[in-house]
Amino acid sequence: MDWSSLFEGFKGLGAEPGTLLMLAIGGVLIYLGIAKRFEPLILIGIGVGIILANLPLGELVKPATEGEAGGLLWYFQEYLLVTEIIPLLIFLCLGALTDFGPLLSNPRIILLGAAAQLGVFIALLGAIALGFDLRGAAAIAIIGGADGPTTIYVATKMQEMGGPIILGAVAVAAYSYMALVPVIQPPIIRLLTTKEERRVRMPYTFRPVSRRTKIIFPIALAVVAGIIVPKAAPLLGMLAFGNLLRESGVVERLSSTAQNELMNIVTILLGLTVGSTMPAAVFLQWGTIQIFLLGLVAFCFSTAGGILLGKLMYRLSGKRINPIIGAAGVSAVPMAARVAQREASREDPENFLLMHAMGPNVAGVIGTATVAGVLIALVPGLIG
């Protein structure tokens, strides 16, 4: 009997020099998720996926052949991630979890969600300047929207077009900066706003939004997206469907499933699958560091863009709009809105901005998905 096959893993550890480092990176992500509670729902899964993908011999990620089945995580990649099923299901679940009431009661604040896409275009230009091709630059730029599922969706689309294999790097960067919203945004808010602006109190009551309006809105959103930005229709269409389940009031069981069981299942699959796309040979490159730096730049500029438009609206409204809510225009729901509330309460403990900040926050989700659709539509022609 040949016992050597039982210890092949020891040989494999030396075959790829970066393997041990990737195992350590996976461990760090798990630590951040558990000990520091940085996006634990996703970072723990990504960390485990990285470790499983970098185990010697790669049994869990090996491709299928005619005579042998592939690894479990390879099937997840091929049939759930490459086909965009996972990010689209995440959007369905997000729709079921999202209340568009604050946005519908004050539609003009959708502009704050649009302004918070500034970082996407700054990072796009920066990535091109650093030598990334347009497909890679588009995937990197969308990190500025602080929307993990959209980042994964765009990176997958760009990879299909022949772009670089950077899905794992951009996904980890996007979710890392989502987790770091409470760390990154407060200094930018304090730098760009005055104490007087941060102390502005907005009304505690909202213009009532009828049930009919809440039902019509997701349908209109899907139709308008499908006509104006067809490439964004898959994302916004699933978001709209999930929200319709929530607002219709007649399918509570389906809405509850989308908000809970389905979201939990898809989150597990998303984390493991994204992590499994990061073997050492793919992840440990100079370009990965550049991606993280560009992602940080994008996120900072997106936050600044929302705040600066918020300052303009503060002036035009006769100082009735608190510009802090502009920082919530990024898609990190609801973390960015909570940061806006915390920064307002630092200056005035009785200032309650959370619901006002939720309007730009959900507008940011729509804005990032729209920008993603624009990039997906334009890139083929520009490289063409």
H-only helix segments in 142-259: 148-160, 167-179, 181-192, 195-198, 211-228, 233-248, 252-257
Looking at residue 180, its amino acid is L
* Local mean pLDDT, 10-residue blocks, the chain (384 residues): 55 68 92 88 91 87 87 92 90 94 89 90 90 91 85 91 85 81 91 93 84 96 94 95 96 97 95 88 84 89 94 92 93 86 92 90 91 91 71
Would you state the pLDDT for residue 3? Answer: 53
Q: Is residue 110 part of a domain?
A: yes
Identify the domain containing residue 193 by its residue range.
98-383
Residues 6+ positions from 165 with CB-CB distance below 8 Å? 159, 277, 282
Q: Which residue has the tokens 């987790």?
A: 179
Would you state the pLDDT for residue 147? Answer: 81
**Residue 201 DSSP SS3:** coil
37: left (phi over 0), alpha (psi -120 to 50) or beta: left
Cβ count near 166 (within 10 Å):
25
Q: Is residue 82 part of a domain?
A: no
Q: Is residue 215 part of a domain?
A: yes
**Rounded Cα distance, 73 and 260, in Å:** 23
**Residue 164 DSSP SS3:** coil
Residue 309 in tokens: 């438009």
**Rounded Cα distance, 261 and 173, in Å:** 26
Query: Nearest to residue 335, comparing CAs of 179, 210, 227, 222?
Result: 179
Would you state the pLDDT for residue 6? Answer: 55
161: left (phi over 0), alpha (psi -120 to 50) or beta: alpha
Looking from the CA of 259 toward its CB, the CA atoms found within 13 Å total 15
Looking at residue 103, its amino acid is L
Q: Is residue 28 part of a domain?
A: no
**Rounded Cα distance, 44 and 268, in Å:** 9
Would you state the pLDDT for residue 5? Answer: 57
Number of domains in the chain: 1
**Rounded Cα distance, 264 and 310, in Å:** 35
Q: Is residue 107 part of a domain?
A: yes
Query: Nearest to residue 121, comparing CAs of 297, 278, 265, 262?
Result: 297
Would you state the pLDDT for residue 28? Answer: 93
**Rounded Cα distance, 246 and 256, in Å:** 8
Q: Is residue 79 part of a domain?
A: no
Q: Is residue 193 part of a domain?
A: yes
Q: Is residue 326 part of a domain?
A: yes
Residue 36 phi, psi (nearest 5): -100, -5
Length of the chain in terms of residues written:
384
